[in-house]
């Protein structure tokens, strides 16, 4: 079952740390450099929104949400075939 967690929340980082500690560390570094949690999980761009990975592409128990800018969302679609849809959770 998918677990919908608000990107960049403590619960989100705990889950991501268990699944992919490198990605969790990279996102923490990006947030630290940007000085805000309200940035893209991948590049730190301030023009970002919360997204959920398409249901049929997720694996049970995995973190399926990210905060992405348009460029990173498009790159993930083109390079990895990942489709993300807007998530209606307020940013921090």
Please state, in angstroms and as integers, the Cα–Cα distance from residue 80 to each residue in 5, 42, 86, following that order: 22, 14, 18
Mean local confidence (pLDDT), 72-78: 96
Are residues 86 and 49 in contact, defined by beta-carbon separation less than 8 angstroms?
yes
Are 4 and 12 contacting, i.e. CB atoms less than 8 angstroms apart? Answer: no
d(CA 59, CA 62): 6
**What's the whole-model pTM score?**
0.86
**CA gap 57, 39 in Å, rounded:** 24
Per-residue pLDDT tens for 5-53? 999 999 999 999 999 999 999 999 999 999 999 999 999 999 999 999 9
Confidence of residue 63 (pLDDT cuts 50, 70, 90): confident
pLDDT band at 92; cut points 50, 70, 90:
very low
| 49 SS3 class | strand
């Amino acid at each position: 079952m998918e677990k919908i967690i608000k990107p960049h929340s403590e619960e989100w980082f705990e889950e991501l740390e268990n699944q992919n500690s490198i990605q969790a560390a990279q996102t923490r570094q990006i947030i630290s450099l940007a000085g805000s949690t309200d940035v893209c999980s991948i590049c730190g761009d301030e023009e970002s929104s919360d997204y959920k990975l398409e249901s049929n592409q997720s694996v049970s128990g995995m973190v399926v949400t990210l905060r992405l800018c348009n460029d990173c969302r498009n790159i993930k679609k083109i390079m990895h075939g990942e489709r993300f849809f807007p998530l209606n959770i307020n940013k921090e």
